[in-house]
Structure 1
Amino acid sequence: MRFAICLLPLCLAACGGSDNVADNVVGPPISVTSETPGDWSALAGMIGRRPSESGLIENSPISVDLAARLGPDSAAYRDAMMRAGPLVRDGALMVSRGPDAWLVIQPAEHAFRAGLLRNGRWQDWQTPGASVPRPAA
């Protein structure tokens, strides 16, 4: 009986309200991507729009995976892509190019390849295990 009386306050505290849980929730680190790819069909609505106006880099189905792959370089990449041209279709690919950055998306494979010009040299990243081509020169 004493155990039940001691346990009662703990149970009541745990059931105190749904807002208590939300304050303590921590999402996965940005370096972790899901095994199940998201719905990339929304990318089609970004065709013809620049990344700076469409949210392609900041708020799209590829944003988390892109930031995770680029890691500490993601801020510089995002800034460079704000000067990129519109996302266009190139066969099965979607491509956006800028003076200092580019992005090639292969939606059917849930894969991408991103490039950033740094110190006169191109550095690029791509979805692990993917074979996404660089954009045509």
Structure 2
Amino acid sequence: MNRCAAPLLVALSLLAACSNDEPPVNNAAAPPLEQMSEDPGDWTALNGMIGRRPSESGLIDSSPISVDLNARLGSSAKAFRDAMMTAGPLTRQGNLLVSKGPNAWLVLDPEGHAFRAGLIRNGRLEEWQTAGTDVPRPR
């Protein structure tokens, strides 16, 4: 077999393996941490969380924003989630929803399906936001 045919056969066998309905193998590659969910979900559900703390409402760990938040924060997601458990209630500030704690904060733009998050860790501020957006810091 010539050198050009071998890569082609490997590619074809991989495509054939992907065309069946079997579940992926356990060691399948996960999407990159920067990848956001394809469907932003129904962020109108966040309105029902206004006036409730993230620890009570599930804002950080089970709301329509949690997948995108975890994807954007990557390895810092757990530290951020832990810090937000002491944050105050979600409040409306114009078109934005905001929750602030002593060491973390979250600003949501439900109309734009965007957010900005901040975490103070080891005396330094770390920030993340939805790619291509300019959600302001909390007031």
Aligned to 1:78: 81
Aligned to 1:17: none
- Equivalent of 1:88 in 64, 87, 91: 91
- Equivalent of 1:34 in 15, 25, 37: 37
Distance 2:103 2:61 in 1: 17
Aligned to 2:61: 58
User: How far 1:33 sits from its partner (Å)?
Assistant: 1.9
User: Does the CA contact (< 8 Å) of 1:93 and 1:106 recur in 2?
Assistant: yes
User: Does the CA contact (< 8 Å) of 1:103 and 1:115 recur in 2?
Assistant: yes
What TM-score do the two structures reach when normalised by structure 2?
0.76
3-state DSSP class of the match of 2:136? coil
Aligned to 1:43: 46
* Percent sequence identity over aligned pairs: 63
| Rg larger in structure | 1
User: How far 1:86 sits from its partner (Å)?
Assistant: 0.3
Distance 2:108 2:46 in 1: 9
The one-letter code sitting in structure 2 at the alignment partner of 1:39 is D
Aligned to 1:116: 119
User: Does the CA contact (< 8 Å) of 2:37 and 2:67 recur in 1?
Assistant: no
**Greater share of residues in helix:** 1
Contiguous gaps of at least 5 residues in structure 2:
1-20
Distance 1:61 1:30 in 2: 19
Query: Residues 27 and 63 of structure 1: is their aligned pair in 2 closer, same or farther, counting only changes over 3 Å?
Result: farther
Deviations 1:50-87 (A, max 9, x none): 00010000000000000000000000000000000000
Distance 2:103 2:128 in 1: 14
User: Does the CA contact (< 8 Å) of 2:60 and 2:81 recur in 1?
Assistant: yes
Aligned length: 117
User: Does the CA contact (< 8 Å) of 1:30 and 1:67 recur in 2?
Assistant: no
